[in-house]
Amino acid sequence: MAERRNIVHMDLDSFFVSVERLYDSRLMGKPILIGGSGDRGVVASCSYEARKFGVHSAMPMRTARQLCPEALQIRGDFAKYSQKSNEITEIVRESVPLFEKASIDEFYVDYTGMDRFFGCYKMAQELRQKIIKESGLPISLGLSQNKTVSKVATGEAKPNNEKQIPYGQEKLFLAPLSVRKIPMIGKKTSHTLYNMGVKKIHTLQAMPAELLESAFGKNGLMIWEKANGIDRSLITPYSEAKSISTENTFEQDTIDVALLEATLTAMTEQLAGKLRQQQKLASTVSVKIRYSDFDTHTVQRRVSYTSADHVLLPLIKALFQQLYQRRLLIRLIGVRFSGLVHGHYQINLFEDTEERISLYQALDRLNGKYGDKTVCRAIGMSVGSRKFNPFNGKEN
């Protein structure tokens, strides 16, 4: 008989807002909007006081201000948030045998097998209290036999609380909830379900899996399984060592700066696309050059977690200009992103507009469906696309 799993999901409550309040107690109890200051900016995070007015993350800032005119608007400091995230990651790392960092403010912990020695829920509660005490930040948790149910349980526990779903009670717990509570169901899928007359999870549970498969393809089966409390996905162990990189050795050594920059642009776009595809964010960028005499130099810089082309490209170009001092023929150039964590591009919204977010989503869909460089910047079109393993930088 398979061992019962014990999976904890932990999520810091309104993380960006909570960090700001840690540094400025005058913000306590007030409606807060964090995000881009322009009319076309987007809400990166908002307080529970603002949510009462219908404000939510990823909403256009102008809409949020209309809904909640009295809200205080803060531009946000991603470096500060990254630092607090690292502090909490260290607390979790010291306390548990296996964990996954799903994003800057979200963790999964695998306590499977630990209940024969200690109570898993008690251990999870103690970890939560340790995080609150040492970081000063509110955090909620859910415990169940899988990642999906635990994540939903965390959502139901918020703010700053905890919820356990006993083994065998998963379907019963999910049944009365809105279909939007299922992690993979977004606005478009939920709209289709509403048109089918499906608003609550209990309706999904009663539907044949084949019907959902015919409506949504293979995702339909995943929706049916999650609605029924089934999720076999494993914890992805957190590791700071992972990196993503690629190199290009030129057929002929070159000093053509236009060609070198075009190659860097193409490689950066390709790697950033892979980051978003893998739902990862990088905190360090590196550029490497090898001259014709095989003299090799590398320079790197730490950045706030990102996977956005428009953030990474200027950095890569600046590092290349810093590095390329000898004006000798170049044999090879390379780009590496490291210090990776799991997370979505959308968590970094301070400078983003609705149009930019939509652009990245459309770009990634097209390149994912039709292959790398289906859509890319014009400067990179002259550089051929090369298939490579993004986590070792070697061509396949």
CB-side exposure of 79: number of CA atoms within 13 Å? 3
**Six-digit token pair at 230?**
């089934």
Yes or no: say if 136 and 22 are a contact pair by the CB < 8 Å rule. Answer: yes
What's the rounded Cα separation, in Å, for the pair 41 and 359? Answer: 14
Minimal CA–CA distance to 10: which of 110, 116, 112?
110
- What is the rounded CA–CA span in Å between residue 374 and residue 21? 44
The closest of 95, 101, 91, 104 to 19, measured between CA atoms, is: 104
**What is the sign of the dihedral through the CA atoms of 365, 147, 181 and 16?**
negative
User: How many residues are present in the chain?
Assistant: 396
Eight-state DSSP code of residue 59:
S
> Which positions make up the binding site?
11, 105
Q: Which residues, 6 or more positions from 173, have their beta carbon under 8 angstroms from its beta carbon?
A: 149, 152, 153, 165, 229
For the question of residue 170 being annotated catalytic, the response is no
Contact 295, 327 (CB under 8 A): no
Q: What is the DSSP letter of 180?
A: G
Q: Which residue has the tokens 């948790």?
A: 141
Binding-site positions for Mg(2+): 11, 105
What gap in Å lies between CA 8 and CA 141, rounded to an integer? 7
Given the residues 20, 100, 106, 269, the one annotated as active site: 106
- Please give the C-alpha separations between residue 249 and each of 134, 260, 392, in angstroms, as whole numbers: 49, 11, 16
Strand pairing category for 330-338 and 106-110: unpaired
Point out the residues that are catalytic.
106
